[in-house]
Amino acid sequence: MKMLNNQKFKMPLNKKMIAPSLLSANFANLQSDIEDCIQGGADMLHLDIMDGHFVPNITFGPPIVEAIRKITRLPLSCHLMISNPDKFIESFVKAGADYISVHTEGAIHLHRTIQFIKDFDKKAGIVLNPATPLEFAYSAAEYVDFILLMSVNPGFGGQEFIKSTLKKIETLKIFLINNGLFNVLIEIDGGVKFDNAIQITNAGADILVCGTGIFNGNIKENIQKMRKLISS
């Protein structure tokens, strides 16, 4: 299988990032959709891993991640919506994940799980469901590379953005600044669209996960449109 892009990825400083969520891609033609993501200028690919237990849906596991790894050098961010994530982290690392995030609600010994990811020299993130208070992130914030705030209840694409997330982003941003954690990125996932992207980045988000907002219609143009919006 051919590698779709030849540029080695470099993380740009202070740039707002766009992470297309492949959950809304055409699974029968993933390679073509990923090529469009690359051409549109996506910063990473967001891969939703669901086990039918932690969330009421099932998606895919390491073999698909491995197949995607073979065709792109874009960073792969695996959002693990699974119970007992410790058991599977190594498999996702071996499959080629660069970023791995685990839910605070699913990782019982959160610091140990984070350390487990860091031991593999991968970017570690923690995820909070919309109803989970920010306090769940505070004790682990200094050990992670990013904090993902869910702006929908996880499990499905195409849901509506929960507006109270905006306040949560602002509060988290202030916490990170007050604690000198300038390198910890804030990622937002769920219901991100053209009409709320600016509000979300203005509140302090660094990475926008976007599924239906990008894959419904022309993928390349949608990413470019999103880029223009959040850069203006």
- Give me the active site residues, please: 48, 189
Counting runs of H as helices and runs of E as strands, what totals does the chain give? 9, 8
103 touching Zn ion, by CB under 5 A? no
Residue whose CB is nearest to ligand DX5 in the complex, by number = 211
Residues 23-42 that bind ligand DX5 (CB under 6 A): 23-24
Question: Which ranges in the chain belong to alpha helices (H)?
Answer: 30-40, 62-69, 86-95, 110-119, 135-138, 165-178, 197-203, 212-215, 219-231
21 vs 113, beta carbon nearer ligand DX5: 21
Listed ranges 26-34, 132-140, 148-156, 195-203: which one lies at the site for ligand DX5 (CB under 6 A): 148-156
157 touching ligand DX5, by CB under 6 A? yes
Residues 15-74 that bind Zn ion (CB under 5 A): 48
Q: Mask 39-78, x = binds ligand DX5 (CB under 6 A)? A: -------x-x------------------------------
Structure tokens at 106: 């699913």
181 vs 224, beta carbon nearer ligand DX5: 224
Q: How far apart are CA 184 and CA 82, in angstroms?
A: 23
CB of 5 to ligand DX5, least distance (A): 22
User: 10 Å Cβ neighbour count for 83?
Assistant: 17
Question: Which ranges in 41-159 belong to alpha helices (H)?
Answer: 62-69, 86-95, 110-119, 135-138
Residues 126-185 that bind Zn ion (CB under 5 A): none
CB of 37 to ligand DX5, least distance (A): 13
Q: How far apart are CA 162 and CA 159, in angstroms?
A: 9
φ, ψ of residue 38 in degrees (nearest 5): -65, -50
Structure tokens at 70: 């073979």
φ, ψ of residue 180 in degrees (nearest 5): 70, 20
User: 10 Å Cβ neighbour count for 78?
Assistant: 29
Q: Which does residue 72 bind out of ligand DX5, Zn ion, none, counting CB within 5 to 8 angstroms by kind?
A: none
79 touching Zn ion, by CB under 5 A? yes
N-terminal to C-terminal alpha carbon distance within the chain: 37
The single residue among 75, 106, 125, 211 that binds ligand DX5, judged by CB under 6 A, is: 211
113 vs 196, beta carbon nearer ligand DX5: 196
CB of 119 to ligand DX5, least distance (A): 25
Q: Which does residue 155 bind out of ligand DX5, Zn ion, none, counting CB within 5 to 8 angstroms by kind?
A: ligand DX5
Residues that bind Zn ion (CB under 5 A): 48, 79, 189
